[in-house]
A = this chain, B = another copy of it.
């Protein structure tokens, strides 16, 4: 690999001059700038960011902590983050943690050693300790699609309370009164909020709260399926189920089918996230959409603003979810 010395020698200037044309700093005559650029192009020179990182304290890379890149929702989120990051000159290091604390810590250490300029966190709940650590390191941190109450950290998320409300009130509006909800883990704020929104909608519709209709399940299809089977085989089965994410909701659809129930005629189902999966199943899933594109864009802007100090204060940006009605919901 050619170094800045090669370019300097070849161009007959000093390395300082080359550095200045690379970074567009200092004052350089048009003539030498052109000339140096020509040489760089001819040699196909790529300045080493590892060397520049040593003095500039900038690696132009961001860590992305997510539960699992193979999970469609997070993959879509990652893609939108990647695009915006790339746009602004940053690369993305993916870190799938399975919400496992040990893995999370290992990854955070890797990112520290590699001097990532910032970390975007999309993983689960109870890592407040880790968050505080990160902030102690002065490592810019931003949280996406998750809420960290009581922590001063840049955040972009959807109004989960509203989302849960939209889902449930769509159902009550269709005349359903016996509505169950399957959450992934009430320790996760977003999950809790969605359930709270659900309760609010029921309350507004004058439906008394029934705790038997609030179930918790591991957040994958199988979990949703098993949980839904229980709910649907009870003595007083719900006529509608709200799955707190698309995976769970799809599990519900499969459970219904296996029990010989038709969707939506016998059971209505609503999901959350509006991933590709929602459009792929049959009937297509009614789901609450998160504006993934915008979320990715905003979070990158927040964290890069934080990184180069161009942003005065931390903020929490709450975007509004939208209900996308498809084929899994109908009137009772």
Contacts and interface: CB of A to CB of B under 8 A. Distances in A.
A281 B281 contact: yes
B280 A250 contact: yes
Nearest to A109: B46
Contacts of A301: none
Nearest to A254: B282
A58 to B, nearest CB: 10
Interface in A247-298: 250, 253-254, 257, 276-277, 279-282
Interface in A96-143: 96, 106-107, 109-110, 112-115, 137
A208 to B, nearest CB: 34
A93 B93 contact: yes
Given A70-B78, A91-B93, A109-B46, A279 B59 contact: no
Contact of A69 (B78, B95, B115): B78
Contact of A48 (B79, B94, B107, B115): B115
Interface in A41-69: 46-51, 53-54, 59-61, 68-69
A40 interface: no
B279 A277 contact: no
16 contacts: A1-B112, A60-B114, A61-B114, A69-B75, A69-B78, A72-B72, A72-B276, A78-B94, A79-B96, A82-B94, A83-B96, A86-B107, A92-B94, A93-B93, A94-B94, A280-B280
